[in-house]
Every structure is written in structure tokens, then in C-alpha cells.
């Protein structure tokens, strides 16, 4: 199979790797992009790592890449808040890396009263954090989620993602969050700006229909579904709107 695109947006979890287990066909694909000088940006809903940490994980798996080729939902969240909530304070559920990205963007974090509640995947999630967030949202704080992924692929199997955990707050408060990550248009616009290409010049590669593929479908970008992560191909084929292309893995896609 050979389709001519000028560049690619490439998901990470379930596309490049599952947890700490690399997907070799994806590594080879990115190596070909590098050799041929074809531009690409990794577009991930994973907000647990900084741009540099996300790149180091790939490099540790033998993928030749660099920080300027990484765009995360944490980066998009920081950009969104800077644009729409400048000067406001935030209570954050998430990793130290997420908090660092937000602070670097000039966002004031607080454990007390806050204008915003920002929620990303937090491996240390507990009742205290959820209770405090629910009380803040109930008191009028805006609710922002880095991403809606309900399922998260690891080397052990599928585990709860941020979207599953944030449902605790949705059920408690009755408030749906503003979601920044895929399939939001906001993160797609940021990634395209970083890639420096137009929508019709790009294909988006991913494993998750509800995030990766819907980003492209909703945003007018061609999509390539790989059967290496969250959404099995047989499940995707039953959808009303199909990806532009469906392949088993990236060894089936030439550039």
C-alpha cells in the first residue's frame, strides 16, 4: 500500500508501543520517515510525561526522534489555559510532569480554592484528590480534562485511562469537562501548527477509534487505523464512519 502524504501525525500508546513493550513495525516506519526526510509529529493524549520524557522513552526503544517532533495533551492543555484562562489558578490531578508543564506556561497551581480543576491520568489517584476536586467543581471551578481516553494499553493489557477515572467527578458533580486531547479540534490544530502542514497534506495514524480516528474524521484529516492497540480492526469495521485506511501494522504502509 502506498499513499502520498507530505507528513504524518502519529499516536504513541498502542501505536508505537504498549506500556514498555515497543511495536517494532512502528519503529521501522519512523526510521523510514527520518531517512526520507518526511515530516511527522507524535500526537499523544498521554499527559503523564513532559515533551522531553516522552521522547526519551522512544529513544530508549531505538526510535530516532527529537523533542520538536512531540506534541502532547499536556502541552495542548497548557496552551488552552493560557489562551482562555490566563491569570487563573488551578488545582491539578496528575503527574509531577503535567504540573511542571502547566507551571512553565505561567499557570498558578494551588491546593486550596482554585478557578480551575485540571485532570490528567494520575497513577497516585485517591479518594482525597477526587473529593477535593469534586468540591471545587461543585463550588464553581471550571473542569478541564487533558484527554478522554477510557482505556489505556500496557504490556499487561488494557487498564483504566483518564476518561474512566474522570467519570467519578462527572457522576458526582453533573459537570462534563472541557476536553483538550484527541478527538478535540484544539489539540489537532496545535499539532498541525507544529507539523507546519495543512490538513489535506497529512494522515493521522492511531489505534484508538474513539480518540485517534475520530480526531481525523471530525477534523478533516485522513486516518490510518493500526490493529496494534485499543480498538480491534473487527470492531472498527462495524463503525458507521470508517477510517480512511485500515491496516494490521505499519509494515503494511510504505512511504
Q: What is the pLDDT of residue 3?
A: 58
Residue-wise pLDDT for 118-176, tens only, equals 999 999 999 999 999 999 999 999 999 999 989 888 888 889 999 999 999 999 999 99
Q: What is the pLDDT of residue 1?
A: 44
Q: What is the pLDDT of residue 12?
A: 96
Q: What is the pLDDT of residue 162?
A: 94
Q: Please give the model's pTM, rounded to 2 decimal places.
A: 0.90
Residue-wise pLDDT for 88-99, tens only, equals 999 999 999 999
Separation CA 185–CA 202 (nearest Å): 15
Nearest of 218, 220, 222, 227 to residue 243 by alpha carbon: 222
User: Hey, which CATH number is domain 87-179, 3.40.50.1000, 3.40.1260.10, 3.30.420.40, 3.40.50.150?
Assistant: 3.40.50.1000
Q: List the CATH code of the domain at 7-73+182-252.
A: 3.40.50.1000
Which residues of the chain carry a pLDDT beneath 50?
1-2
Residue 68 and residue 89 in contact, taking contact as beta carbons nearer than 8 Å: no
Cα first-last separation, the chain: 9
Q: What is the pLDDT of residue 84?
A: 94
- What are the boundaries of each domain within the chain? 7-73+182-252, 87-179
Which residue matches cell numbers 462534563? 176
Which residue matches cell numbers 467543581? 137
Q: Does the fold of domain 87-179 match that of domain 7-73+182-252?
A: yes
Amino acid at each position: 500500500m502506498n499513499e502520498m502524504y507530505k507528513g504524518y501525525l502519529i499516536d504513541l500508546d498502542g501505536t508505537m508501543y504498549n506500556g514498555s513493550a515497543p511495536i517494532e513495525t512502528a519503529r521501522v516506519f519512523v526510521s523510514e520517515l527520518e531517512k526520507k526526510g518526511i515530516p511527522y509529529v507524535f500526537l499523544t493524549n498521554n499527559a503523564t510525561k513532559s515533551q522531553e520524557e516522552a521522547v526519551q522513552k522512544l529513544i530508549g526503544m531505538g526510535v530516532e526522534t527529537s523533542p520538536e517532533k512531540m506534541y502532547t495533551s499536556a502541552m495542548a492543555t497548557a496552551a488552552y489555559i493560557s489562551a482562555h484562562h490566563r491569570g487563573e489558578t488551578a488545582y491539578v490531578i496528575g503527574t509531577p510532569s503535567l504540573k511542571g508543564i502547566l507551571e512553565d506556561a505561567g499557570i498558578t497551581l494551588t491546593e486550596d480554592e482554585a478557578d480551575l480543576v485540571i485532570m490528567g491520568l494520575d497513577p497516585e489517584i485517591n479518594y482525597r484528590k477526587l473529593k477535593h476536586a469534586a468540591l471545587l467543581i461543585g463550588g464553581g471551578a471550571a473542569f478541564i480534562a487533558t484527554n478522554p481516553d477510557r482505556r489505556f494499553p500496557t504490556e499487561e493489557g488494557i487498564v483504566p485511562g483518564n476518561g474512566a477515572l474522570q467519570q467519578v467527578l462527572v457522576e458526582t458533580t453533573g459537570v462534563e469537562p472541557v476536553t483538550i486531547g484527541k478527538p478535540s479540534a484544539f489539540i489537532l490544530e496545535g499539532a498541525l501548527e507544529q507539523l507546519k502542514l495543512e490538513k489535506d497534506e497529512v494522515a493521522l495514524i492511531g489505534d484508538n477509534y474513539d480518540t485517534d480516528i475520530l480526531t481525523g474524521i471530525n477534523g478533516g484529516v485522513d486516518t490510518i487505523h493500526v490493529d496494534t492497540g485499543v480498538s480491534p480492526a473487527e470492531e472498527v469495521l462495524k463503525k458507521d464512519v470508517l477510517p480512511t485506511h485500515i491496516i494490521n501494522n505499519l509494515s503494511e504502509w510504505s512511504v
